[in-house]
Amino acid sequence: KAGVTQTPRYLIKTRGQQVTLSCSPISGHRSVSWYQQTPGQGLQFLFEYFSETQRNKGNFPGRFSGRQFSNSRSEMNVSTLELGDSALYLCASSLGGSGRTDTQYFGPGTRLTVL
């Protein structure tokens, strides 16, 4: 089975712009979670989507949003970029139907640099 894929792998944007990141989960997985990784804050949960619905959200401002499509692919969007949004954004997929924490499999990440 193919693993979790994320596109693009690298992005450079300027402050004030917006960006969209994409994640394709492992075939058959219906849950997609997003995490932000920075040297200062470490790995932080952004949100989780399951069957096209956001069912869990971390403590991030409303500039961070996401969605999930019927094929389970997910996108996250960051509007009005700030320098502090520079990070590695990781997507993880899991089966998602158990009602509790599944084993999550991570993609390679998208490295976002905001100038």
Partner 1 sequence: AQSVTQPDIHITVSEGASLELRCNYSYGATPYLFWYVQSPGQGLQLLLKYFSGDTLVQGIKGFEAEFKRSQSSFNLRKPSVHWSDAAEYFCAVGPSSGGYNKLIFGAGTRLAVHP
Q: Which residues bind partner 1 (CB under 8 A)?
A: 4, 6, 31, 33, 35, 42-45, 48, 50, 55-56, 58, 90, 92, 94, 96, 99-109, 111
CB of 43 to partner 1, least distance (A): 4
| Residue spans of beta strands (DSSP E) within 1-115 | 5-7, 10-13, 19-24, 31-38, 42-50, 53-57, 64-68, 74-78, 87-94, 105-106, 110-114
Measured from the CB atom, is 19 or 35 closer to partner 1? 35
Point out which residues pair with 54 in neighbouring strands: 49
CB of 114 to partner 1, least distance (A): 18
CB of 4 to partner 1, least distance (A): 8
